[in-house]
Amino acid sequence: MSVGIPYPQALARWRAAAPAAAREGALPVPDLLRGFHPDHRPGAMERLAVGIGAGLDCPAALAALLQADSLLEDVDIAGAPILDADVLVIGGGGAGCVAALSAARAGARVTMATKLRLGDGNTVMAEGGIQAAVGADDSLQHHFEDTLRAGHFAADKALVAALVGDGPAAIRWLIQEGMSFDLAEEAGHAGRPMGGLLLRKKPGGATRARLLSYRDFTGLEMMRALREATLLQPGITILERHPALELLSDDRGRCAGAVLHDLALGRPVLARAGATVLATGGAGRLHIAGFPTSNHYGATADGLVLAYRLGAALREVDSFQFHPTGIAWPTHLAGTLVSEAARASGATLVNGLGERFIPELAPRDVVAAAMLREIAEGRGVARDGAVGLFLDTPGLERERPGILRHGLVTLTHLAHRGGFDPAEEPFLVRPTLHYQNGGVAIDPAGRTGVPGLLAAGEVTGGLHGRNRLMGNALLELVAFGRRAGAAAAGAARDERPRNVGLTHLADWRRALAAQGLPLSRKAPMVFPPYGNFDIAAARGRAA
């Protein structure tokens, strides 16, 4: 890590320069990304040797899981209790709840299995907002083009079209489910709602103001509404603390449900279903490239591992988003997110020399790479062994008095947890591992290449290309959760599983052996190693 400029000296320069002027000499974006983004570090990627994605590059930590053996043998599920449903939804975050609601409302009997508690996931941590083209000056085409451009034109255009096309209806649906949004203030009468018009802000990488939010805890408000709706919806059976250890297959190669592990009783449960929706989230807790993460405790790439072993294709699994503003100091909060809502509201990034060095609302990968460049080249701010850059919240408060107390509530609470006043002292931030840009390849209905297996949310790939546009994650989980849930209900009516078991594992183990890969390495991880919970040992005790 670069030494950086000592905090007292950097703070003095920040105060002397306020408001900070922009420095000249920005690198061209391709050079900036190649030189400083973690995805491009030498040795960052490993090539997969087995499975449908053989030849793809991905981080070594993820490759180890994707090329691991199953935790289970046929004998492990002999005599296990069996649950039957039309649709099995694996995951209890936003995408899982939306998929379960959509499938149940289409007439399906739904079993919903969560690793933790219902609602425990990354959705509640999404602070900035949700994008949708609802403004008079906006259009679906603008949203489409912004999404493609932010993802470096690597996204599947059919998926992007589905996402942006569903945007306005997704917002109406969320409001109908009870979610609140900030309303615009009436011109000339500050503080009064303007006829119910939604407040729109311009997010990083966008050409129009289309970010809709609820204060700076939009995901928490969304998850509140979705969780309540799911708990009240007839036809949904919820199994909390039941992580999935393996997908089930039938004699035609269809996905036929999953083997769950009941954490309370320490035993396997067979959840059979005509269609299965993966909504397991991402891989942040793998701490790729050694970065801290903003992700929740269960983000351990389980869905990628299970889908890949069953034969589902992956894409862009070598691309991860590093959110620009994770906490750098105090170190006990390292990686905790400072919402992009701060930069969307006008907070600037300042280096240890008192200079702005990047447009704060450039796409996230560009901002993160620029920050890492400042740190690598010695212009970061050093404090108690941590090195970061200033997020000028005092300057924002001067420009917009009261915004920290009334608009950026979560940010203010976070500062108080760190022991400082954000109206007087800037945050010290640096990029944090935030989002899995790629994942399981799907079509616009959420179907994977494996019959009977669908997916929605961060576990999927193809929608974001090589960088996600802020606010598209919350829209994605609604748009594709609804699509996958409806398609799963239809698929469950069309086909029923038969001769269900773990037949796909024999071919998988032969493939591992052929490449000289060890059968002793097991996956999914289920919980990160520092959780001191060994799922293999727990399963063994139950047996």
> How confident is the model over 293-331, as pLDDT tens digits?
999 999 999 999 999 999 999 999 999 999 999 999 999
Pairing type for strands 427-436 and 453-455 reads: unpaired
CA–CA dist 51, 34 (Å, integer): 29
For all residues of the chain together, what is the average pLDDT? Answer: 94
Q: Which of 216-220, 277-281, 416-420, 491-495 has the lowest mean pLDDT?
A: 491-495
The first and second tokens of residue 345, run together, are 């509201």
Which pLDDT score, from 0 to 100, does residue 145 have?
98
- Flag whether pLDDT at 416 surpasses 90: yes
Percent of the chain whose pLDDT exceeds 90 = 88
Residue 367 and residue 359: Cα distance in Å, rounded? 8
Mean pLDDT in residue range 338-355 = 94
Ordered by where they begin, the domains of the chain are: 5-36+320-434 (3.90.700.10), 74-126+164-178+215-319+437-494 (3.50.50.60)
Helix (H) or strand (E) holding 397: helix 393-399
What pTM was estimated for this model as a whole?
A: 0.94
Q: Given this model, what pLDDT does residue 187 score? A: 41
For 486-497, the pLDDT digits (tens) are 999 999 987 777
- In the chain, the amino acid numbered 263 is L
Model confidence at 188: pLDDT above 60: no
Of the listed ranges 54-63, 172-181, 527-536, the least confidently predicted one is 527-536
Q: Among candidates 130, 12, 213, 241, which has minimal Cα distance to 469?
A: 130
Q: How confident is the model over 410-434, as a mean pLDDT?
A: 96
Decide if pLDDT at 537 tops 80: no
Does the pLDDT at position 143 exceed 80? yes
pLDDT value of position 1: 46
Residue range 415-424: mean pLDDT, rounded: 96
- List CB contacts of 288: < 8 A, sequence separation 6 or more: 38, 59, 61, 62, 320, 433
The strand pairing partners of 112, in sequence order, are: 89, 238
- Mean per-residue pLDDT for 448-473? 97
Grade residue 479 by pLDDT with cuts at 50, 70 and 90: very high
Q: What is the pLDDT of residue 305?
A: 98
Whether 432 shows a pLDDT value over 90: the answer reads: yes
pLDDT confidence tier of residue 128, bands split at 50, 70 and 90: confident
pLDDT score of 194: 52
Per-residue pLDDT, 25: 82
Q: How many CA atoms are closer than 13 Å to the CA of 470, on its beta-carbon side?
A: 36
**pLDDT value at position 539?**
64
pLDDT tens profile 244-266: 999 999 988 999 999 999 999 99
Query: Of residues 105, 200, 210, 364, which has the active-site annotation?
Result: 364
What are residue 323's DSSP bridge partners? 432
315 noted as active-site residue: no
Look at the alpha carbons of 196, 197, 201, 203 in this order and tell me if their dihedral is positive or negative. positive
DSSP string, 166-216: HHHHHHHHHHHTT----EEEETTEEEEEEEEEEP-B--TT-SS--EE-STT
The pLDDT of residue 190 is 46
Number of other residues whose CB lies within 10 A of the CB of residue 427: 26
